[in-house]
Amino acid sequence: MKNFKRLFLLFVVAMVALVGCSEFGKSPVDDIITVKDGQFIRNGEPYYFVGTNFWYGAILGSEGEGGNRERLVRELDFMKSHGIDNLRVLVGGEGENGLLGKIEPNLQPEPGIYNDDVLAGLDFLMMELGKRGMTAVLYFNNAWEWSGGYTQYVAWANNTPVLVPRVDGWFSYNAFAGEFVRNERAKELFFNHLRYIITRTNRYTGIKYIEDPAIFSWQICNEPRAFSSKEQDNKEAFAEWIAASAKLIRSLDPNHMISTGSEGFYGCEWDMALCERIHALDEISYINCHVWPYNWKWMRGDNMVADLDRSCANTKEYIDMHIGLGHSINKPVVVEEFGMPRDNMDFHKGSPVVCRDKYYTFVFDLILKDKEQNGPFAGCNFWSWGGFAKTNVEDHEYWAKGDDYTGDPAQEQQGLNSIFVEDSSTLNIIREANRRLGNL
């Protein structure tokens, strides 16, 4: 009997040790968010969220120019307290500093040459996100000039100056940007950038990026476009570039989700078949779309209240198109950009946000209703997070070197779409939505 008890105790101790070792040796990969049966799965449960855009997160994490780690930590703590745990972040900008309407400092000032301060900022951001159980969508490229993107890669490939819309005009810019998806050298420079970032190891945590659960998804580009509605021109090259990028990312990282960053129908040259084609790729994990009532002329700046109902109706119709696609190809849908200016286009902190609050409530309710039906509309990222930033709109409306980063990039009026800590009514709506979604 004594021998039996002894053997039994040894067995129990062995089992406890085995479990402990198993838990201790748990791979970070086990905590990476995935997709199953058309839904995001986090910790074994369906995951729905109200997140934000925080494009400057890596810059803020730097100890060099533009960095402010103390502010970054405050921002993350504040967001987390409101259930905001999904952030959409720019990996870094490309090209020279000092261009009109362009953020700085840039991560990649020349092809293959990297600003280590910004890389350290990205590592620091990912470490801090991991501590809080937060995640980031990391996007590599940009169809727009404010971070370099398309036109910077074309300029590098062709050894020509980069075009700036506010200087060279939108027609010239669009033609120049449209060359990216056809320019083999520009695309190869971009692919080299993918390889460099994805294969890195975080200097602070020692975790390989391909194993980091703080990465929600790798994202190919912010609002990638063909910049042409002609089938024989750019649309085919655009679709092939998205597919090639997704395949390369998957070959480098077998673990994380991959997303396009597309505006959806609007950004696919008003071609839903093209939208379906790029999102139905095996490597693409979920469907993206963006919604911009003011930018898309659904709402007039001097008649925001009068146009709000129309904006909401058009928003629902637009999102429903992509929810239908989600059902069709069995993938989640994320509206990862949507925004609403402050009332009467007033950029000052503390100015009314009645239309914004009503619009945000409308969008969040669509997610909550879809969750009740286990639907594919899984989340959104409002544009964008201004947080604790100080603004100087009394002196100048656009960002200038030395200003705090807000959610509004350098080519937009500061305070246009940003949510600041002073916006208590909007923050209460965000917090309540995340509470109802189970994120608090």
> Among 27, 83, 76, 86, which Cα is nearest to 52's?
86
pLDDT the model gives residue 232: 58
- Omega of the bond prior to 409 within 30 degrees of 0, cis? no
Coil, strand, or helix at residue 344? helix
Q: For 183-218, how does the pLDDT look when each residue is reduced to its tens digit (9 = 90+)?
A: 999 999 999 999 999 999 999 999 999 999 999 999
- 74-105 burial code (b ≥16 CB/10 A, e <16): ebbeebbebbbbbbbbbbbbbbeeebebbbbb
What's the pLDDT band for 28 if we cut at 50, 70, 90? confident
pLDDT the model gives residue 197: 98
What's the pLDDT band for 182 if we cut at 50, 70, 90? very high
CA distances from 219 to 259, 262, 286 (A): 5, 9, 11
Between CA 81 and CA 93 the distance in angstroms is 29
Hey, what are 374's tokens?
A: 């286990």
Bridge partners of 215? 136
Collect all residues with Cβ–Cβ distance below 8 Å to 211 and sequence separation of at least 6.
Answer: 27, 28, 29, 32, 255
Between CA 18 and CA 21 the distance in angstroms is 5
Which DSSP string corresponds to 150-162?
A: HHHHHHHHHT-PP
What residue type is assigned to position 148 of the chain?
G
Which DSSP string corresponds to 295-358?
A: TTTSS-TT-HHHHHHHHHHHHHHHHHHHHHHHHHHT--EEEEEE--PPGGG--STTS--HHHHH
CA distances from 133 to 74, 79, 126, 130, 434 (A): 15, 12, 10, 5, 15
Hey, what are 214's tokens?
A: 């703080």
Q: For 124-155, how does the pLDDT look when each residue is reduced to its tens digit (9 = 90+)?
A: 999 999 999 999 999 999 999 999 999 999 99
Nearest-5° angle of CA 185, CA 227, CA 269?
A: 135
Bridge partners of 337? 290
- Omega of the bond prior to 251 within 30 degrees of 0, cis? no
Q: For 44-58, how does the pLDDT look when each residue is reduced to its tens digit (9 = 90+)?
A: 999 999 999 999 999
Give the sign of the dihedral formed by CA 360, CA 366, CA 371, CA 374: negative
Look up tokens 């404010």; give the residue. Answer: 146
Question: What's the rounded mean pLDDT across residues 335-353?
Answer: 95
Per-residue HEC secondary structure of 359-376 comes to: HHHHHHHHHHHHHHCCCC
Between CA 208 and CA 132 the distance in angstroms is 18
pLDDT the model gives residue 38: 96
Collect all residues with Cβ–Cβ distance below 8 Å to 253 and sequence separation of at least 6.
Answer: 198, 209, 210, 218
Residue, of 220 and 393, whose pLDDT is higher: 220
pLDDT the model gives residue 2: 45
Average pLDDT, the chain: 93
Bridge partners of 297? none
Question: What's the rounded mean pLDDT across residues 66-90?
Answer: 98
Q: Percentage of the chain with pLDDT > 70?
A: 93
Report the helix count and the strand count for the chain, using DSSP H and E: 13, 13
Between CA 284 and CA 368 the distance in angstroms is 24
Residue, of 393 and 13, whose pLDDT is higher: 393
Cβ-contact 198, 132 below 8 angstroms: no
Cβ-contact 367, 361 below 8 angstroms: no
pLDDT the model gives residue 52: 98
Cβ-contact 106, 189 below 8 angstroms: no
What's the pLDDT band for 18 if we cut at 50, 70, 90? very low
Between CA 430 and CA 440 the distance in angstroms is 11
Residues in the chain: 440
Question: What's the rounded mean pLDDT across residues 82-98?
Answer: 97
Give the sign of the dihedral formed by CA 59, CA 64, CA 66, CA 67: positive
Q: For 223-263, how does the pLDDT look when each residue is reduced to its tens digit (9 = 90+)?
A: 999 998 665 579 999 999 999 999 999 999 999 999 999 99
Q: For 377-395, how does the pLDDT look when each residue is reduced to its tens digit (9 = 90+)?
A: 999 999 999 999 999 888 8
pLDDT the model gives residue 228: 82
- Cα-atom radius of gyration of the chain, to the nearest Å? 22
pTM over 0.95: no
Look up tokens 């947080």; give the residue. Answer: 387
